[in-house]
Amino acid sequence: MPETGEDLQGVIKRVYALGYDVGYHHHSEIGWISTAYTDLVSHVDETVQRDLLRQYYELGKKDGNERRKHDIWIRSEKKVGSSTDSTLFDYDAASVINTFLQQPQVLAMPGCITQTTLFDQPLFLRGFIVLDYMGTG
């Protein structure tokens, strides 16, 4: 039980830090978070102070979540900014596609890959060979 305002301020700071950690890292509130929160709240006796601690915990969660979103946005902005500055993307996409289509060896099946005879159609299913007896062929 905190006897002075300084002790209560320390508990408030720790509760806020716990909430911030939960909000930033998306921890589950079951397990060690629940135990730590209960331990911190057990330092005060009055329900008014417990409500105050709950408010600071929720505020810490909200601030941690907002900071996480901000950090993710900043990191993604840096990645996008660095990739657009590159000279690799200066070419027109249509010219690259046309270049690949003009080189059939790029799109062709490699020579080392062949169809196995297991997948060939059996001879008896091919039907009869039509012979051209009329000599028009």
pLDDT tens digits, residue range 95-134?
666 666 666 666 677 777 777 777 777 777 777 666 656 6
Residue 100 lies in a domain: no
Residue 53 lies in a domain: yes
**Structural domain span for residue 16:** 5-79
Q: What was the pLDDT predicted at 111?
A: 72
Residue 20 lies in a domain: yes
- Per the structure, the count of domains in the chain is 1
Closest listed residue to residue 49, CA positions, set 96, 10, 98: 10
Cβ-defined contacts of 9-13 (< 8 Å, 24+): 11/40, 11/43, 11/44, 11/53, 12/52, 12/53, 12/56
Tell me the C-alpha distance between 47 and 54, whole Å: 10
Alpha-helical (H) ranges within 26-127 are 32-41, 47-84, 93-102, 104-107
Residue 97 lies in a domain: no
- pTM score: 0.54
Residue 12 lies in a domain: yes
